[in-house]
Amino acid sequence: QQQVKQSPQSLIVQKGGIPIINCAYENTAFDYFPWYQQFPGKGPALLIAIRPDVSEKKEGRFTISFNKSAKQFSLHIMDSQPGDSATYFCAASSYGGTSYGKLTFGQGTILTVHP
């Protein structure tokens, strides 16, 4: 079963646009929500992460918005650049219980930013 659902599967924007990638989760025990960025030929790398005690987290041009009641979170990329073109994965994990340390990933979004 897919416990983290990610959309859209692909996204094309112009330079300077604000792409938004959405994720929804089912397991209410999840309490850690990272986003990973993957460039072609490379492994994914952590981009930004959020805990559910806050509704928003910003790091540079990247922002996570978190809605605990809706069990949804999203990634916004401000002033997107061609160098942001990559595959983005959302993920979820819990700090305790049997899921501790295991990340459940979404399906991935291929982002293309045109110059």
Partner 1 sequence: DADVTQTPRNRITKTGKRIMLECSQTKGHDRMYWYRQDPGLGLRLIYYSFDVKDINKGEISDGYSVSRQAQAKFSLSLESAIPNQTALYFCATSDRTGLNEQFFGPGTRLTVL
Judged by the rule CB under 8 A, the positions of this chain that interact with partner 1 are 6, 9, 32, 34, 41-46, 49, 89, 93, 95, 101-108
- Written as six digits, the tokens of 113 are 């930013």
> How far, in Å, CA of 54 to CA of 68, rounded?
9
Q: What is the dihedral of CA 75, 72, 52, 16, to 10 degrees?
A: 10
Nearer to partner 1, 56 or 79 (CB): 56
Task: For tokens 């952590």, name the residue.
Answer: 46
Instruction: Please state the φ and ψ torsions of residue 99, each to the nearest 5 degrees.
Output: -90, 0
CB of 19 to partner 1, least distance (A): 18
Handedness of CA 11, 35, 84, 59 (dihedral sign): positive
Q: Which is nearer to partner 1, 33 or 77 (CB)?
A: 33
Q: Which is nearer to partner 1, 28 or 95 (CB)?
A: 95
Nearest distance, CB of residue 66 and partner 1, angstroms: 15
3-class DSSP assignment, residue 70: coil
Give the nearest distance from C-beta 28 to partner 1 in angstroms.
18
- In the bound state with partner 1, the residue whose beta carbon lies nearer, of 12 and 46, is 46
CB of 84 to partner 1, least distance (A): 19
